[in-house]
Amino acid sequence: MLEIVAGRLLAPYVGMSLYTWTAIISVVLAGLTIGHWIGGRLAESAADAAAAHRRTAIALALAALSAAATLPLLRLAATPLLALGLDPVTAIIGLAAFLFLPPSLFAGIVSPILTKLAVDADRARTGRTIGRMYALGAAGSILGTLSAGYLFISWIGSVGTVLAVAGLYAILAVGLLIGQKRLLLAALAAFVLAGGGLAATPRALASPCTVESDYYCLRVEDFSGQSGRASAVLVLDHLGHGINDAAQPGLFYSSYLQFTDEMAARRFGRDRLDAFFIGGGAFTLPRAWSQSFADPHLHVAEIDPSVTALAHDRLWLAPTAKGLTIDHRDARLALQSLSAAPRFDVVFGDAFHDIGIPSHLVTREFHRQIAARLKPGGFYAINVIESRHEPRFLFALLQTLAHDFAAVEVWIDGDEMAQGERITYLVLASDQASDTPILRSDRFFSRHWLRLKGDQVRAKVAEARVPDLTDDFSPVDRLMAHVLLSPEIGEK
């Protein structure tokens, strides 16, 4: 349970990626390994069963204390550790080890001692006893994983789940010391103490999330200080995913949204528009198009209902927005459930989470489904946050798109060309090339976008020797590892 909830606890600070989960799983296994070794020595040196019980109780008590301590320690240590300037992978591993190695180690001490006690109690069936202990351990791991993922985090959040784990360790520790008949009283005492501790230190233990959903740690932060207008930004885990203006839905603080809006208007005018959105986020573009087009039909596939609810409650998305249909399913499942016939002018992909895109949303099989549902002249737009130098994921995406789209273009904000190592590339895939190499807009913000020369882009893609992205092989995290390892880790 603690291993599963560790990812949610770390997400607001270091995001949620393959690297985060790798660090967490490795740290927990390292803790268990060390704990098993220590537990074996303690089991062997215990004078009798009573001594073994005491040692087990002490290990469980330390597991309870160290598990509960992860909550205040995370708040105290995360910011200073991340401010040291370490590369992101080192920072993730260091933070995970500091928080979750101790409770895993102390929990790991328990199994060898209990196994020794079980073997001593039935020496005639040693093999069967050891097998039973291994089976019970595996079954407990399965139960804990299911309980955390499907019940506890949804019911009581990550903080409550950690306290439940700490409370359970404490109950077991007290039960070993005072006997099973008093276990109920021990359980009550442990939860009263946990509740009292939470009430005494609310700022240290409170979740940083406005809403903790089944998918993300969600929060809405005021953006008025930066914009000078009533505005707010939606943050999923630790990255911003859209800024909405209260009074002007068509005011796009993000350049790539303004580009998509201008390109759609250039190709289709401002009358009818049929669009499919891969991800809702702050619903910035659907909210704007609901008002700026006379007859919009906007199908938004947003997997997390809590994101939608927060957009309604805090980001000024009207529940009765014109032409808006919200589908709370995975975007690929939602798209393939629709008829395989041309029906959309625009398919807009904005499903970035952390530094990458869910791998199943960038494969050739998915692109084929998109191409089949675009009207003649329609386009698929996707923003890609990548490196200025050697953007290997971008190259793989372009190579893959070229199999199903006659025209694959890369656009970039003209003002962003000379800034930083990370760039938001704007990829446009269609059956028709755009009719201009430069797109300009003076609506609210004066911006211009440049289309990179196609022959140069194709040459770079060929030189990169990247794989096609397929359902069988889509190594998004590996292709974007250079972005994670760069010092420019910040908001989207």
Which tens digits make up the pLDDT trace of 466-477? 999 999 898 887
Mean predicted confidence (pLDDT) in 349-375: 85
- pLDDT above 70: residue 7: yes
Name which of 195, 123, 207 is nearest 158 in CA terms. Answer: 207
Q: How confident is the model at residue 491 (pLDDT cuts 50, 70, 90)?
A: very low
Q: How does pLDDT run across 267-295, given as a tens digit for each residue? A: 999 999 999 999 998 999 999 999 999 99
Burial of 210 (0-12, 13-18, 19+ CB in 10 A): middle
pLDDT at residue 12 in the model: 75
**Which tokens hold the place of 112?**
């060898």
Which residue would you say has higher pLDDT here, 172 or 12? 172
Q: Is the pLDDT of residue 487 over 60?
A: no
pLDDT at 217 over 90: no
Residue ranges of the domains in the chain?
2-208, 217-484
Q: Measured between alpha carbons, how far is 107 from 286 in angstroms, rounded to an integer?
A: 49
pLDDT tens sequence across 419-429: 667 888 999 99
> What gap in Å lies between CA 26 and CA 192, rounded to an integer?
33
| pLDDT attached to residue 181 | 54
415 against 268, higher pLDDT: 268
- Classify 214 as helix, strand or coil: coil
CA 254 and chain centroid, separation: 21
The pLDDT of residue 465 is 92
C-alpha span between 403 and 396 (Å, rounded): 12
In this prediction, residues 390-395 reach a mean pLDDT of 92
- pTM of the entire structure? 0.77
pLDDT at 400 over 90: yes
Q: What distance in Å separates the CA atoms of residue 383 and residue 394, rounded to the nearest whole number?
A: 10
Beta strands in 255-303 (DSSP E): 272-278, 295-301
Decide if 466 contacts 392 (C-beta within 8 A). yes
The pLDDT of residue 203 is 45
Task: Name the burial class of residue 394, with classes exposed (0-12), middle (13-18) and buried (19+) by CB atoms within 10 angstroms of its CB.
Answer: buried
Question: Model confidence over 156-171: pLDDT tens digits?
Answer: 788 888 988 998 898 8
pLDDT for the residue numbered 354: 58
Q: What pLDDT shows up at residue 75?
A: 84
Contacts of residue 175, defined as CB under 8 A and 6 or more positions apart, other chains included, come to 182, 183, 186
pLDDT of residue 2: 92
- At residue 240, the pLDDT reads 78
- Residue 197 pLDDT greater than 90, yes or no: no
143-159 burial, b at 16+ Cβ within 10 Å, e below that, comes to ebeebbeeebbeeebbb
Residue 238: DSSP 8-state = T
Domain 217-484: homologous superfamily in CATH:
Vaccinia Virus protein VP39 (3.40.50.150)
204 — pLDDT class (breaks 50, 70, 90) = very low
Question: What DSSP character marks residue 293?
Answer: S
Give whole-number Cα distances, 198 to 12, 192, 390, in Å.
20, 10, 48
Alpha-carbon span 334 to 434, nearest angstrom: 28
Name the percent of the chain lying above pLDDT 90. 57
Q: Give 375 or 479, the one with higher predicted confidence.
A: 375
CA distance 225 to 229: 8
Q: Please give the pLDDT value at position 421.
A: 73
What tens digit of pLDDT does each residue of 68-79 get? 999 999 888 888
pLDDT tops 80 at residue 86: no
Percent of the chain with pLDDT over 70: 90
| Distance of alpha carbon 359 from alpha carbon 11, whole angstroms | 19
Q: How far apart are CA 232 and CA 284, in angstroms?
A: 11
Average pLDDT (293-304) is: 94
Report d(CA 289, CA 398) in Å as an integer: 27
What is the structure's pLDDT at 318?
93
For residue 198, pLDDT over 60 is answered with no
> Residue range 95-115: average pLDDT?
95
Nearest to 207 by CA among 161, 141, 240: 161
Mean pLDDT confidence for 120-138 = 91
pLDDT surpassing 50 at residue 32? yes
Q: Is the pLDDT of residue 17 over 90?
A: no
- For the chain, the average pLDDT equals 87
What mean pLDDT do residues 84-91 have? 79
Beta strands at 374-387 and 407-413: parallel, antiparallel or unpaired: unpaired
d(CA 292, CA 264): 11
**Res 486: pLDDT:** 58
| pLDDT at residue number 183 | 59
